[in-house]
Chains A and B, each alone.
Chain A
Amino acid sequence: MAQLIKNQAIALDPWTSLALADGETPETVALPVGQVIFPFAVWQSRRAEILARGTPVGVLLEPADPIEDLAADVDQLALIAVNFPKFVDGRGYSIASLLRQRYGYSGELRAVGDVLHDQLFFMQRVGFDAFALKDGKDAEYALKTAFAPFSETYQVSTSQPQPFFRRRA
């Protein structure tokens, strides 16, 4: 079980995730009750039905999912999870940048999957605010050291919209 880091603390996770079992399809899978993170394909095919439930909605994006198709819906979502199938797969960083900077998404943006200590700094900068740290990793130590190894950053990012050269004394 991953450990959730949110708001600079270890947090309990009120969400459950729906995963399709063998033989289940996005069109026919039973929707569990409560606060659920739906795979993007389920969200796409059952959007109206999911919204009609009246509970907060989460969507899980895989790196290759066409996030442009989610642009118009971001205000409907309380949580977007972005999966890192391997920590060296960096597509999720661009997805987060686009969701925050271009599509104006302001809900919880959660990194899930192969989420490790040494990537948390980058993830936070592109706009993630929740991190499902991989099981077996030291969440206390991550909280203490992983989010601010550097005291300044050069580039424009979600967490710092002005480049350092415009802020340089």
Chain B
Amino acid sequence: MYKYDAIDRQLIAQRVEQFRDQVRRWKAGELSDDEFRPLRLQNGLYVQRHAPMFRIAVPYAMLNTAQLRKLAHVARQYDRGYGHFTTRHNLQLNWPKIEDVPDILAELADVEMHAIQTSGNCLRNITTDQFAGVAADEVIDPRPLAEILRQWTTFHPEFAFLPRKFKIAISGTREDRAVTWFHDIGLHLQQQGGETGFRVLVGGGLGRTPIRGQVVREFLPWQHILTYCEAILRVYNRAGRRDNAYKARIKILVQALGVEEFSKQVEAEWAHLKDGPATLTQAEFDRVAAHFTAPAYNAAAADDAGFRQHLADNTAFARWVERCTHPHRVAGYRAVTLSLKQHGVAPGDITSEQMETVADLADHFSFGELRISHEQNIILADVQEAHLYTLWLTAKGAGLATPNVGLLTSIICCPGGDFCDLANAKSIPIANAIQARFDDLDYLFDIGEIDLNISGCMNACGHHHVGHIGVLGVDKNDAEFYQVTLGGRQGNEARLGKVIGPSFAADEMPDVVDKIIKVYIDNRHEDERFLDTFDRIGIDPFKNRVYEGRAHGKAKAAEKEAA
């Protein structure tokens, strides 16, 4: 992975001292709360329900084991011994002290980590596919260009105070795993006539107004990516709405202008920047790409007899291999997902001890590197099949081998009302209640592949819109209710789920999910996944079953009140 040079290191060290001085001036009253807010947000620091929340960047999902051990240490030393992985390649701490944050940043800088622009109305962390560089369906490794974009976004002088936050995702695979259709800019790396470049999508986003991105350029040669992004950002910075925070994302501007007019403005702006000094050079690409070379794979890894034997002998191991390992471009290797979706634990949460176990596993079995996914799991990308059994035993002992990746209980879930100030409703207890209801592994495997995503408010950090089953926490007269959507999906055919009907009380949610699953089981054809059945039979059978003969939502609340 990318190693900082002296200048990269110096910049994040200077960032620590800059923020230390900002905290000092804020405490001394030289900076008002309003003046300090964007400064702390651009260092990942929110003021939340119980304590500040601090968001650390994991740029394009890559970590080495020294970094993970540092995160374990920071969580133990400055927090309560655990952290939370988010859907955008960040680690959040829920209980740090503001006064400690400069020291935390200094510790992170020691291992080339930071919290730069992890929040605020600015260019955010670049995200990509967690299997970048090893995926069997990869066309081009997105990581060198993701790192080049990371540097371009870092302290960009013109775009530090945008109308609203701005998120870029980049994907280099046939099947999109980076939710690129729902980012402010989505980039698809591809080859065209022997040339490498991007399809450029703009104006996607989830949140309050979920909109699928639109293509503004079918093919942009890679050398032009920085100038083209500058053009997009300049159009947005000047014309994006600033009168209403809910209408300030670039997606609203693209909708208002229409994608043709928006593209025209971008192209007109780009005409001035094209071929200028910000045009990327082959030398720079090569310099960065040299950091992302393949590790020294064992040429004799294929067809390991011991691995085959364990698969045949041990059902639990075989199940884990089926759910939690993924095809690798090198024969005899797999990418391994360590599930952070153990039933009863907050999805995406990881303790300091678990981080250290993962670091040990990565050192032993995966060349000392790992990734985190937007599904809030950890990936060891380069594991030899011969080592899977030993790895599994250790991971299992640490609560990291729940064989539920891609299944109903591997829930994407935001921190929700337990921690977050924005939330309308709790999300973690809903996830845990559903996990408890579907605790039977045989049943879980029988149900098969299904994405259940939960957000505690319409800001959609839990990506509920693109869950096959989506759950959204809503506030109704100060009570917490949950709206359910069906049929959403990520990937190449990404689309938004449809609302099934009136919302439900928290204690109804396991039953509601149970009924939805039963409709699928009753109607499925052989080999049909949940989504296939849904696409074939539509939403009505689900609606009918879920609302059959019962009061719900407000009506139920009224009944309860009457009783």
B233 smallest CB distance to A (angstroms): 9
B42 nearest CB neighbor, chain A only: A118
Count B interface residues, CB 8 Å. 43
Interface residues of B (CB under 8 A from A): 5, 7, 10-11, 14-15, 17-18, 21-22, 25, 30-31, 35, 38-39, 121, 148, 151-152, 154-163, 226, 234, 237-238, 242, 272, 276-278, 280-281, 284, 287
Ordered by A's residue number, 12 sampled pairs between the chains whose C-beta atoms are within 8 Å are A88-B38, A88-B161, A93-B161, A93-B237, A118-B22, A122-B158, A123-B157, A126-B158, A137-B30, A153-B157, A154-B155, A164-B151
Is there contact, CB below 8 Å, between A163 and B278? yes
Is there contact, CB below 8 Å, between B14 and A151? yes
Which residues of chain B are near A162, meaning CB under 8 Å?
A: 277
A53 smallest CB distance to B (angstroms): 32
A148 nearest CB neighbor, chain B only: B14
A149 nearest CB neighbor, chain B only: B18
Which residues of chain B are near A88, meaning CB under 8 Å?
A: 38, 121, 161
Is there contact, CB below 8 Å, between A122 and B35? no
Task: From A102, A119, A154, give the contact of B152 (CB < 8 A).
Answer: A154
A145 part of interface (Cβ distance < 8 Å): yes
A110 part of interface (Cβ distance < 8 Å): no
Which residues of chain A are near B238, meaning CB under 8 Å?
A: 91, 94-95
Which residues in window 132-167 of A have CB below 8 A to B?
A: 137-138, 145, 149-157, 161-166
Known contacts: A126-B158, A150-B14, A168-B287. The answer to whether A118 contacts B39 by CB under 8 A is: yes
Which residues of chain B are near A156, meaning CB under 8 Å?
A: 276-278
Which residues of chain A are near B160, meaning CB under 8 Å?
A: 90, 93, 119, 122
B295 smallest CB distance to A (angstroms): 26
Interchain pairs with CB closer than 8 A, number: 103
Which residues of chain A are near B272, meaning CB under 8 Å?
A: 102
Is there contact, CB below 8 Å, between A149 and B154? no
Known contacts: A102-B272, A157-B157, A168-B287. The answer to whether A89 contacts B242 by CB under 8 A is: yes
A61 smallest CB distance to B (angstroms): 12
Known contacts: A94-B238, A150-B14, A155-B152. The answer to whether A166 contacts B158 by CB under 8 A is: no
Is there contact, CB below 8 Å, between A149 and B14? yes
Is there contact, CB below 8 Å, between B35 and A93? no
A146 smallest CB distance to B (angstroms): 10
Which residues of chain A are near B163, meaning CB under 8 Å?
A: 90
Question: What separation, in Å, do the CA atoms of A90 and B234 have in the docked complex?
Answer: 10
Which residues of chain B are near A149, meaning CB under 8 Å?
A: 14, 17-18
Interface string of A81-116 (1 = CB under 8 A from B): 000000111110111010000100000000000001
B284 nearest CB neighbor, chain A only: A165
Known contacts: A94-B237, A157-B158. The answer to whether A151 contacts B277 by CB under 8 A is: no
Question: What separation, in Å, do the CA atoms of A132 and B22 have in the docked complex?
Answer: 20
Is there contact, CB below 8 Å, between B237 and A154? no
Which 3 A/B pairs are nearest by Cβ-Cβ distance? A90-B161, A125-B157, A165-B284
